[in-house]
Amino acid sequence: MSHLVTGIAQLVTNDPALGDGSELGLLEHAAIVVENERVAWVGPAVQAPSADTATDLGGRAVVPGFVDSHSHLVFAGDRSAEFAARMTGEPYTGGGIATTMAATRAAGDEELLEHVQKLLAEMRSQGTTTVEIKSGYGLDVEEEARALRIAAQVTSEVTFLGAHVVPPALRDRREDYVKLVAGDMLAACAPYARWADVFCEPASAYAFDGDETRTILQACAAAGLELRVHGNQLSAGPGVQIATELDAASVDHCTHLTDADVAALGAAGQRIDPENPSTGTVATLLPGVEFSTRSPYPDARRLLAAGAVIALASDCNPGSCFTSSMPLVIALAVREMNMSPAQALWSATLGGAIALRRNDIGRVRVGARADLAVLEAPSYLHLAYRPGVPLARTLEL
Protein backbone atom coordinates (compact mmCIF):
# COMPACT_ATOMS: atom_id res chain seq x y z
CA MET A 1 0.00 0.00 0.00
CA SER A 2 1.47 3.40 -0.97
CA HIS A 3 0.21 6.74 0.43
CA LEU A 4 0.68 10.09 -1.26
CA VAL A 5 0.80 13.12 1.05
CA THR A 6 0.18 16.46 -0.68
CA GLY A 7 -0.76 20.00 0.36
CA ILE A 8 2.59 20.49 2.15
CA ALA A 9 3.27 24.25 2.05
CA GLN A 10 6.76 23.77 3.47
CA LEU A 11 8.64 20.54 4.08
CA VAL A 12 11.67 20.38 6.36
CA THR A 13 13.77 17.42 5.20
CA ASN A 14 17.01 17.98 7.17
CA ASP A 15 18.74 16.87 3.99
CA PRO A 16 20.81 19.70 2.46
CA ALA A 17 20.85 17.77 -0.82
CA LEU A 18 17.10 18.39 -1.10
CA GLY A 19 15.28 21.67 -1.50
CA ASP A 20 16.94 25.02 -0.84
CA GLY A 21 20.37 23.64 0.08
CA SER A 22 20.22 24.90 3.68
CA GLU A 23 20.84 22.56 6.65
CA LEU A 24 17.07 22.13 6.99
CA GLY A 25 16.69 21.20 3.30
CA LEU A 26 13.49 23.21 2.87
CA LEU A 27 11.11 22.31 0.04
CA GLU A 28 8.10 24.51 -0.77
CA HIS A 29 4.91 22.89 -2.18
CA ALA A 30 6.18 19.38 -1.56
CA ALA A 31 4.75 15.88 -1.61
CA ILE A 32 5.82 12.61 -0.02
CA VAL A 33 5.02 9.00 -0.90
CA VAL A 34 5.07 6.57 2.03
CA GLU A 35 5.25 2.82 1.64
CA ASN A 36 5.73 0.23 4.42
CA GLU A 37 6.30 3.05 6.94
CA ARG A 38 9.25 4.37 4.91
CA VAL A 39 9.64 7.36 2.62
CA ALA A 40 9.44 5.98 -0.93
CA TRP A 41 9.53 9.34 -2.75
CA VAL A 42 9.90 13.02 -1.79
CA GLY A 43 9.97 16.10 -4.02
CA PRO A 44 7.98 18.97 -5.56
CA ALA A 45 4.23 18.27 -5.58
CA VAL A 46 4.02 18.91 -9.33
CA GLN A 47 6.29 15.90 -9.94
CA ALA A 48 4.59 13.53 -7.48
CA PRO A 49 3.88 10.01 -8.71
CA SER A 50 0.48 8.43 -8.11
CA ALA A 51 -0.19 6.15 -5.14
CA ASP A 52 -2.90 3.85 -3.76
CA THR A 53 -4.30 6.48 -1.36
CA ALA A 54 -3.83 10.22 -0.87
CA THR A 55 -3.96 12.74 1.99
CA ASP A 56 -4.12 16.49 1.33
CA LEU A 57 -2.73 18.53 4.22
CA GLY A 58 -4.24 21.75 2.89
CA GLY A 59 -1.16 23.99 2.98
CA ARG A 60 0.40 23.03 6.30
CA ALA A 61 4.10 22.62 7.13
CA VAL A 62 5.59 19.16 7.70
CA VAL A 63 8.74 18.48 9.71
CA PRO A 64 10.52 15.26 10.71
CA GLY A 65 8.87 13.87 13.85
CA PHE A 66 10.62 15.07 17.00
CA VAL A 67 13.23 12.69 18.41
CA ASP A 68 13.05 12.99 22.19
CA SER A 69 16.34 11.38 23.16
CA HIS A 70 16.05 11.81 26.95
CA SER A 71 13.10 10.92 29.19
CA HIS A 72 12.28 9.17 32.45
CA LEU A 73 8.73 7.93 31.88
CA VAL A 74 8.60 4.84 34.14
CA PHE A 75 7.46 6.27 37.43
CA ALA A 76 4.53 6.75 39.79
CA GLY A 77 3.64 9.52 42.22
CA ASP A 78 3.46 13.30 42.12
CA ARG A 79 6.06 15.92 43.04
CA SER A 80 4.14 19.07 42.23
CA ALA A 81 4.64 20.31 45.81
CA GLU A 82 8.42 20.05 45.30
CA PHE A 83 8.03 22.15 42.13
CA ALA A 84 6.01 24.76 44.02
CA ALA A 85 8.67 24.92 46.74
CA ARG A 86 11.33 25.49 44.08
CA MET A 87 9.39 28.35 42.60
CA THR A 88 9.56 30.04 45.99
CA GLY A 89 13.30 29.56 46.39
CA GLU A 90 14.17 25.92 47.22
CA PRO A 91 17.06 24.58 45.11
CA TYR A 92 16.87 21.40 42.99
CA THR A 93 19.24 18.79 44.46
CA GLY A 94 18.06 15.42 43.13
CA GLY A 95 16.95 14.49 46.65
CA GLY A 96 13.33 14.14 45.52
CA ILE A 97 14.25 11.15 43.35
CA ALA A 98 13.87 9.00 46.50
CA THR A 99 10.23 10.11 46.78
CA THR A 100 9.54 8.87 43.26
CA MET A 101 11.48 5.67 43.98
CA ALA A 102 9.13 4.84 46.87
CA ALA A 103 5.99 5.55 44.81
CA THR A 104 7.32 3.60 41.82
CA ARG A 105 8.23 0.54 43.88
CA ALA A 106 4.72 0.58 45.36
CA ALA A 107 3.03 0.63 41.92
CA GLY A 108 1.97 -2.47 39.98
CA ASP A 109 3.30 -3.31 36.49
CA GLU A 110 -0.03 -2.47 34.86
CA GLU A 111 -0.22 0.92 36.54
CA LEU A 112 3.33 1.79 35.46
CA LEU A 113 2.77 0.66 31.87
CA GLU A 114 -0.51 2.57 31.61
CA HIS A 115 1.20 5.71 32.88
CA VAL A 116 4.03 5.35 30.37
CA GLN A 117 1.47 4.89 27.59
CA LYS A 118 -0.43 7.97 28.69
CA LEU A 119 2.73 10.09 28.58
CA LEU A 120 3.72 8.64 25.22
CA ALA A 121 0.30 9.50 23.82
CA GLU A 122 0.78 13.03 25.12
CA MET A 123 4.15 13.16 23.32
CA ARG A 124 2.80 11.78 20.03
CA SER A 125 -0.06 14.27 20.09
CA GLN A 126 2.62 17.01 20.08
CA GLY A 127 4.65 15.62 17.18
CA THR A 128 7.17 13.31 18.89
CA THR A 129 7.78 10.06 17.03
CA THR A 130 10.80 8.52 18.83
CA VAL A 131 11.31 8.47 22.60
CA GLU A 132 14.23 7.22 24.66
CA ILE A 133 13.18 6.00 28.13
CA LYS A 134 15.40 5.48 31.18
CA SER A 135 14.97 3.42 34.33
CA GLY A 136 16.25 4.98 37.54
CA TYR A 137 13.36 5.00 40.00
CA GLY A 138 13.73 1.34 41.00
CA LEU A 139 17.26 1.42 42.41
CA ASP A 140 17.48 -2.27 43.26
CA VAL A 141 18.05 -5.27 41.00
CA GLU A 142 14.44 -6.41 40.54
CA GLU A 143 12.93 -2.93 40.34
CA GLU A 144 15.42 -1.62 37.77
CA ALA A 145 14.92 -4.73 35.61
CA ARG A 146 11.13 -4.29 35.92
CA ALA A 147 11.32 -0.66 34.80
CA LEU A 148 13.39 -1.62 31.76
CA ARG A 149 11.04 -4.48 30.83
CA ILE A 150 8.18 -1.99 30.86
CA ALA A 151 10.12 0.57 28.82
CA ALA A 152 11.10 -2.11 26.29
CA GLN A 153 7.41 -2.75 25.59
CA VAL A 154 7.07 0.72 24.06
CA THR A 155 10.49 1.72 22.66
CA SER A 156 13.75 0.21 21.42
CA GLU A 157 15.68 3.13 22.96
CA VAL A 158 15.86 1.82 26.51
CA THR A 159 18.45 3.10 29.00
CA PHE A 160 19.69 1.46 32.20
CA LEU A 161 20.01 4.23 34.83
CA GLY A 162 20.54 2.19 38.00
CA ALA A 163 23.12 4.88 38.81
CA HIS A 164 20.52 7.62 39.09
CA VAL A 165 21.09 8.20 42.81
CA VAL A 166 22.27 6.08 45.74
CA PRO A 167 19.03 4.77 47.31
CA PRO A 168 18.34 5.98 50.88
CA ALA A 169 18.97 2.55 52.45
CA LEU A 170 22.54 2.51 51.11
CA ARG A 171 23.51 6.16 51.62
CA ASP A 172 26.21 5.18 54.13
CA ARG A 173 27.47 2.40 51.89
CA ARG A 174 27.88 4.05 48.53
CA GLU A 175 30.68 1.69 47.44
CA ASP A 176 28.32 -1.24 47.91
CA TYR A 177 25.73 0.38 45.69
CA VAL A 178 28.28 1.16 42.98
CA LYS A 179 29.39 -2.50 43.08
CA LEU A 180 25.78 -3.65 42.85
CA VAL A 181 25.03 -1.41 39.86
CA ALA A 182 28.18 -2.50 38.02
CA GLY A 183 27.62 -6.16 38.97
CA ASP A 184 24.32 -7.94 39.64
CA MET A 185 22.07 -5.06 38.60
CA LEU A 186 23.84 -4.63 35.28
CA ALA A 187 23.66 -8.38 34.64
CA ALA A 188 19.89 -8.38 35.29
CA CYS A 189 19.25 -5.22 33.27
CA ALA A 190 21.54 -5.54 30.25
CA PRO A 191 19.19 -7.88 28.32
CA TYR A 192 16.48 -5.18 28.20
CA ALA A 193 18.59 -2.11 27.51
CA ARG A 194 20.53 -0.63 24.60
CA TRP A 195 22.06 2.19 26.65
CA ALA A 196 23.59 2.84 30.08
CA ASP A 197 23.56 6.22 31.82
CA VAL A 198 24.92 7.67 35.09
CA PHE A 199 23.90 10.86 36.94
CA CYS A 200 27.42 12.24 37.39
CA GLU A 201 27.31 15.08 39.87
CA PRO A 202 29.90 15.55 42.60
CA ALA A 203 27.97 18.57 43.91
CA SER A 204 25.02 16.37 44.90
CA ALA A 205 25.09 14.05 47.91
CA TYR A 206 22.85 11.68 45.98
CA ALA A 207 24.48 11.26 42.57
CA PHE A 208 27.84 9.80 41.48
CA ASP A 209 31.30 11.35 41.41
CA GLY A 210 33.79 11.02 38.57
CA ASP A 211 35.44 7.79 39.76
CA GLU A 212 32.11 6.11 40.48
CA THR A 213 30.78 7.22 37.10
CA ARG A 214 33.79 5.85 35.26
CA THR A 215 33.63 2.50 37.09
CA ILE A 216 29.95 2.03 36.27
CA LEU A 217 30.14 3.17 32.66
CA GLN A 218 33.17 0.98 31.93
CA ALA A 219 31.38 -2.08 33.33
CA CYS A 220 28.30 -1.25 31.27
CA ALA A 221 30.35 -0.84 28.10
CA ALA A 222 32.05 -4.18 28.77
CA ALA A 223 28.56 -5.74 29.02
CA GLY A 224 27.78 -4.43 25.53
CA LEU A 225 25.73 -1.35 26.42
CA GLU A 226 26.33 1.97 24.68
CA LEU A 227 26.87 5.03 26.87
CA ARG A 228 25.15 8.29 27.73
CA VAL A 229 25.77 10.56 30.73
CA HIS A 230 23.80 13.04 32.86
CA GLY A 231 26.58 15.60 33.22
CA ASN A 232 27.23 19.15 34.42
CA GLN A 233 23.66 19.70 35.55
CA LEU A 234 24.18 21.17 39.03
CA SER A 235 27.83 22.18 38.73
CA ALA A 236 30.76 22.08 36.30
CA GLY A 237 31.64 18.50 37.31
CA PRO A 238 33.59 15.89 35.33
CA GLY A 239 30.58 14.54 33.37
CA VAL A 240 31.45 16.14 30.04
CA GLN A 241 35.09 15.09 30.21
CA ILE A 242 34.22 11.49 31.10
CA ALA A 243 31.53 11.25 28.43
CA THR A 244 33.80 12.54 25.68
CA GLU A 245 36.71 10.38 26.87
CA LEU A 246 34.58 7.21 26.85
CA ASP A 247 32.99 8.19 23.51
CA ALA A 248 29.49 8.24 25.00
CA ALA A 249 26.83 8.99 22.39
CA SER A 250 25.63 11.98 24.39
CA VAL A 251 26.18 14.03 27.51
CA ASP A 252 22.94 15.55 28.70
CA HIS A 253 22.11 18.79 30.56
CA CYS A 254 25.47 20.66 30.07
CA THR A 255 24.08 23.48 32.21
CA HIS A 256 27.41 24.44 33.80
CA LEU A 257 30.34 24.27 31.37
CA THR A 258 33.96 25.33 31.68
CA ASP A 259 35.94 26.50 28.64
CA ALA A 260 37.62 23.06 28.63
CA ASP A 261 34.18 21.38 28.55
CA VAL A 262 33.12 23.51 25.59
CA ALA A 263 36.36 22.64 23.80
CA ALA A 264 35.88 18.91 24.53
CA LEU A 265 32.30 19.02 23.20
CA GLY A 266 33.51 20.88 20.12
CA ALA A 267 36.18 18.25 19.42
CA ALA A 268 33.68 15.43 20.10
CA GLY A 269 31.22 17.02 17.70
CA GLN A 270 33.85 17.06 14.95
CA ARG A 271 34.15 13.27 15.27
CA ILE A 272 30.48 12.78 14.39
CA ASP A 273 29.47 11.69 10.91
CA PRO A 274 25.79 12.69 10.68
CA GLU A 275 25.28 10.19 7.85
CA ASN A 276 26.48 7.32 9.99
CA PRO A 277 26.64 8.38 13.65
CA SER A 278 28.64 5.66 15.36
CA THR A 279 31.21 7.73 17.24
CA GLY A 280 31.52 11.19 18.83
CA THR A 281 29.54 12.79 21.64
CA VAL A 282 26.47 15.01 21.23
CA ALA A 283 25.72 17.81 23.73
CA THR A 284 22.06 17.27 24.62
CA LEU A 285 20.46 20.40 26.05
CA LEU A 286 17.31 20.18 28.16
CA PRO A 287 15.94 23.72 28.49
CA GLY A 288 12.77 22.48 30.18
CA VAL A 289 14.97 21.63 33.16
CA GLU A 290 16.46 25.10 33.44
CA PHE A 291 12.91 26.45 33.13
CA SER A 292 11.50 24.14 35.82
CA THR A 293 14.42 24.46 38.25
CA ARG A 294 15.08 28.19 37.77
CA SER A 295 18.64 27.46 36.65
CA PRO A 296 20.79 29.47 34.24
CA TYR A 297 20.45 28.37 30.60
CA PRO A 298 23.62 27.22 28.81
CA ASP A 299 24.62 29.21 25.72
CA ALA A 300 24.06 27.00 22.69
CA ARG A 301 25.73 29.54 20.39
CA ARG A 302 29.00 29.12 22.29
CA LEU A 303 28.80 25.33 21.84
CA LEU A 304 27.94 25.58 18.15
CA ALA A 305 30.83 28.01 17.57
CA ALA A 306 33.18 25.43 19.11
CA GLY A 307 31.90 22.74 16.70
CA ALA A 308 29.58 20.80 19.04
CA VAL A 309 26.59 18.87 17.74
CA ILE A 310 23.52 19.75 19.80
CA ALA A 311 20.39 17.73 20.49
CA LEU A 312 17.34 19.06 22.29
CA ALA A 313 15.20 16.76 24.45
CA SER A 314 12.44 17.06 27.05
CA ASP A 315 13.93 15.12 30.01
CA CYS A 316 10.27 14.44 30.87
CA ASN A 317 10.40 13.33 34.54
CA PRO A 318 8.43 14.05 37.72
CA GLY A 319 11.19 16.07 39.42
CA SER A 320 13.32 18.46 37.41
CA CYS A 321 11.00 18.91 34.40
CA PHE A 322 7.55 17.45 33.86
CA THR A 323 6.89 18.52 30.30
CA SER A 324 6.38 16.19 27.34
CA SER A 325 6.38 19.04 24.83
CA MET A 326 9.17 19.26 22.27
CA PRO A 327 7.63 22.45 20.80
CA LEU A 328 8.03 24.08 24.23
CA VAL A 329 11.64 22.85 24.35
CA ILE A 330 12.27 24.40 20.90
CA ALA A 331 10.72 27.71 21.94
CA LEU A 332 12.84 27.82 25.12
CA ALA A 333 16.03 26.95 23.24
CA VAL A 334 15.39 29.81 20.83
CA ARG A 335 14.45 32.38 23.45
CA GLU A 336 16.82 31.38 26.26
CA MET A 337 19.75 29.50 24.69
CA ASN A 338 20.47 31.72 21.68
CA MET A 339 19.56 29.14 19.05
CA SER A 340 17.98 30.21 15.78
CA PRO A 341 14.60 28.60 15.04
CA ALA A 342 16.31 26.53 12.33
CA GLN A 343 19.06 25.30 14.68
CA ALA A 344 16.53 24.41 17.37
CA LEU A 345 14.34 22.40 15.00
CA TRP A 346 17.37 20.57 13.60
CA SER A 347 18.53 19.72 17.14
CA ALA A 348 15.06 18.47 18.16
CA THR A 349 14.93 16.14 15.14
CA LEU A 350 18.21 15.11 13.48
CA GLY A 351 20.24 16.15 16.54
CA GLY A 352 18.19 13.74 18.66
CA ALA A 353 18.60 11.00 16.05
CA ILE A 354 22.38 11.45 16.12
CA ALA A 355 22.33 11.40 19.94
CA LEU A 356 20.71 7.97 19.58
CA ARG A 357 23.19 7.00 16.85
CA ARG A 358 20.37 6.41 14.40
CA ASN A 359 20.42 7.21 10.68
CA ASP A 360 16.89 6.03 9.87
CA ILE A 361 15.05 8.86 11.68
CA GLY A 362 15.28 12.65 11.98
CA ARG A 363 15.27 13.24 8.19
CA VAL A 364 12.77 13.05 5.37
CA ARG A 365 14.55 11.23 2.55
CA VAL A 366 13.99 8.07 0.54
CA GLY A 367 14.55 5.02 2.74
CA ALA A 368 14.14 6.85 6.08
CA ARG A 369 11.29 6.02 8.44
CA ALA A 370 8.22 8.06 7.51
CA ASP A 371 8.03 9.62 10.99
CA LEU A 372 6.43 12.98 10.30
CA ALA A 373 4.87 15.84 12.24
CA VAL A 374 2.30 18.20 10.73
CA LEU A 375 2.09 21.79 11.92
CA GLU A 376 -1.06 23.85 12.11
CA ALA A 377 1.01 26.57 10.44
CA PRO A 378 2.54 27.41 7.06
CA SER A 379 6.17 27.21 8.26
CA TYR A 380 8.37 25.67 10.95
CA LEU A 381 9.16 29.15 12.28
CA HIS A 382 5.79 29.13 14.03
CA LEU A 383 7.06 26.47 16.49
CA ALA A 384 9.09 29.12 18.32
CA TYR A 385 7.07 32.13 17.14
CA ARG A 386 3.86 30.83 18.75
CA PRO A 387 5.00 29.36 22.09
CA GLY A 388 2.45 27.37 24.07
CA VAL A 389 0.12 26.91 21.09
CA PRO A 390 -0.52 23.24 20.21
CA LEU A 391 0.59 23.43 16.56
CA ALA A 392 2.31 20.06 16.11
CA ARG A 393 0.82 16.59 15.79
CA THR A 394 2.16 13.29 14.53
CA LEU A 395 1.00 12.44 11.00
CA GLU A 396 -0.88 9.15 11.25
CA LEU A 397 -1.42 7.57 7.83
Q: How far is the CB of 304 from ligand NIG (least distance, A)?
A: 22
* Residues 226 and 262 sit within 8 Å (Cβ to Cβ): no
Q: How far is the CB of 173 from ligand NIG (least distance, A)?
A: 21
Helix (H) or strand (E) holding 30: strand 26-35
Which letter, b or e, does each residue of 273-301 get, where b requires 16 or more Cβ atoms within 10 Å of its Cβ? eeeebeebbbbbbbbbbbbbbebebbbbe
192 binds, among ligand NIG, Fe ion, none (CB under 5 to 8 A by kind): none
Which residue, 19 or 318, is less far from ligand NIG as judged by CB?
318
State which residue has the least CB distance to Fe ion. 315
What is d(CA 223, CA 200) in angstroms, rounded to the nearest whole number?
20
How many residues appear in the chain? 397
Using the contact rule CB under 5 A, the part of the chain among 9-17, 125-133, 311-319, 362-370 near Fe ion is 311-319
199 binds, among Fe ion, ligand NIG, none (CB under 5 to 8 A by kind): ligand NIG
The annotation status of 192 as a binding-site residue, yes or no, is no
Residue 315 touches Fe ion, criterion: CB under 5 A: yes
130 binds, among Fe ion, ligand NIG, none (CB under 5 to 8 A by kind): none
Residues between 31 and 60 with contacts to Fe ion, criterion CB under 5 A: none
HSE-CB at 27 with a 13 A cutoff on CA atoms is 28
* Residues 303 and 62 sit within 8 Å (Cβ to Cβ): no
Burial class (CB in 10 A: 0-12, 13-18, 19+), 81: exposed
Number of residues in contact with Fe ion under rule CB under 5 A: 1
State which residue has the least CB distance to ligand NIG. 319
Q: What is the rounded radius of gyration, in angstroms, for the C-alpha atoms of the chain?
A: 20
For residue 330, the tally of other CB atoms under 10 A from its CB is 27
What is d(CA 197, CA 221) in angstroms, rounded to the nearest whole number?
10
Using the contact rule CB under 5 A, the part of the chain among 116-124, 242-250, 271-279, 313-321 near Fe ion is 313-321
Contacts of residues 384-392 at CB distance under 8 Å and 24 or more positions apart, as own/partner, are 384/330, 384/331, 384/334, 384/335, 384/341, 384/344, 385/341, 387/327, 387/328, 387/331, 387/335, 388/328, 388/331, 390/125, 390/126, 390/327, 391/327, 392/63, 392/66, 392/126, 392/127, 392/326, 392/327
The annotation status of 228 as a binding-site residue, yes or no, is no
Which residue, 19 or 96, is less far from ligand NIG as judged by CB?
96
Q: How far is the CB of 317 from ligand NIG (least distance, A)?
A: 4
The annotation status of 320 as a binding-site residue, yes or no, is yes
The annotation status of 253 as a binding-site residue, yes or no, is no
For residue 12, the tally of other CB atoms under 10 A from its CB is 31
Residue 144 touches Fe ion, criterion: CB under 5 A: no
The annotation status of 382 as a binding-site residue, yes or no, is no
233 binds, among ligand NIG, Fe ion, none (CB under 5 to 8 A by kind): ligand NIG
- Side chain identity at residue 255, one-letter code: T
Which residues contact ligand NIG (rule: CB under 6 A)? 72, 94, 96-97, 100, 199, 230, 233, 289, 315, 317-320
- Side chain identity at residue 256, one-letter code: H
Which residue, 277 or 318, is less far from Fe ion as judged by CB?
318
Residue 290 touches Fe ion, criterion: CB under 5 A: no
Which residue, 230 or 363, is less far from ligand NIG as judged by CB?
230
237 binds, among Fe ion, ligand NIG, none (CB under 5 to 8 A by kind): none
Q: How far is the CB of 320 from ligand NIG (least distance, A)?
A: 3
The annotation status of 317 as a binding-site residue, yes or no, is yes
No. of helices (H) and no. of strands (E), the chain:
15, 15
Binding residue ranges for 4-imidazolone-5-propanoate: 79, 137, 164, 233, 320
Chain residues binding Fe ion by CB under 5 A are 315
Binding-site entries: 70, 72, 79, 137, 164, 230, 233, 315, 317, 319-320
